[in-house]
């Protein structure tokens, strides 16, 4: 699973910045017939792309987003080469954007690293594969990766 890193990263970062000032999810989206959005990626080996380099890491993520904008969960990027970066974060807030047909367009999350740095994570579906694309931006965390995973909507 290889990304063309820079074009997708720039596009995702533009979306992150645009979504950052949107209304809370319960007001910003018209599909309010949900009580929970879950996104899960089981532990797997992925290639992580950063502005400086790319590296192989074990990745996993699990998050739940609620209509009031709260989120709980975690994301772990554990590099197989200890010279490379890595990150563990927990999520505090989230927002969900829907397509017109009611499917999830993306999940935007605010998280904290172990060091207390704020990180924004955007999860979107890859159009060509059964993958999720994770794009992160923060003080020291700028990365994009693809992982097998799913986004599940629990209706009211």
Which pTM does this prediction carry?
A: 0.78
Widest CA span of the chain, in angstroms? 46
| pLDDT, tens digit, 9 for 90 and up, residues 24-41 | 443 334 456 789 999 999
- Average pLDDT of every residue of the chain: 81
* Other Cβ atoms within 10 Å of 44 Cβ, number: 13
Q: Residue 83, SS3?
A: coil
Q: Where are the domains of the chain?
A: 5-155
CATH 2.40.160 for domain 5-155, yes or no, is yes
Distance CA 108, CA 143 (A): 15
Its sign, for the CA torsion 33, 20, 120, 69, is: negative
The Cα–Cα gap between 91 and 47 comes to 22
Q: Each residue of 73-117: pLDDT tens digit?
A: 999 999 888 776 678 999 999 999 998 888 899 999 999 998 899
């Amino acid at each position: 699973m290889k990304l063309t890193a820079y074009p997708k990263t720039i596009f995702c970062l533009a979306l992150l910045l645009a979504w950052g000032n949107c209304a809370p999810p319960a007001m910003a989206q018209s599909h309010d017939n949900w009580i929970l959005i879950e996104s899960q990626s089981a532990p797997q080996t992925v290639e992580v792309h950063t502005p400086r380099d790319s590296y192989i890491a074990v990745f996993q993520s699990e998050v739940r987003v609620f209509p009031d904008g709260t989120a709980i969960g975690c994301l772990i990027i554990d590099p197989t080469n200890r010279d490379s970066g890595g990150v563990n974060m927990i999520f505090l807030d989230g927002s969900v954007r829907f397509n017109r047909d009611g499917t999830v367009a993306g999940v935007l999350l605010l998280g904290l690293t172990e060091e207390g740095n704020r990180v924004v994570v955007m999860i979107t579906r890859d159009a060509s594969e059964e993958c999720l694309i994770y794009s992160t931006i923060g003080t020291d965390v700028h990365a994009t990766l693809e992982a097998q995973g799913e986004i599940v909507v629990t209706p009211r």
